[in-house]
Each structure stands twice: as C-alpha cells, then as structure tokens.
Structure 1
C-alpha cells in the first residue's frame, strides 16, 4: 500500500493505528466488520475491492 501511495510504511502504519483507535477496533478483521455494520456492503465493496 505504501509503495502505491508513494508514502512510507510508517505513515501507513500510523494512519491505520489512528483508524483503529477512532473506531475502537483491535485488528483488520474487526475493522472490516465495523465498516460493514456502519456503511453497509455497498461501501465496503467500493473501499476494499477497487
């Protein structure tokens, strides 16, 4: 992800940490479930499959 965005791995890690904290989740699986419950399947598909 960092290579495609042309930013450092540390920057990606920091942003992911901030997202996890704001949504009160501990891992990517919990994040996925949280986003699906908040945004629905349509938004989930747009965010994770494009």
Structure 2
C-alpha cells in the first residue's frame, strides 16, 4: 500500500465531513516504524449510541 496515496484519500475533506456528521472523530493516525506500510487509525465516537448506528 502506498501510505501517502492512502492518506490523501483518507483525509479528503468530504470524507472527514461525512465521518464527523455521524459523530466519528479521528484522534490519531500512526505509521509503524518497523512496518512502514502499516497504519493504525484511532477514532472516537461522539457517543456510544452513535457508534451503534
């Protein structure tokens, strides 16, 4: 996977707006030092109820 290409897609403003509209907030993205093609995305939901939808 090309991480730079993935990041451009993932951080697209329209996609970020759609996530936020549903209560999803990205709190961090991390790239592995040992495995540069491994990315971990941490997200929080506005509420437990919105996570269930």
TM-score by length of 2: 0.29
Determine which structure has more spread, i.e. the larger CA radius of gyration.
2
The structure with the largest helix share of the pair is 1
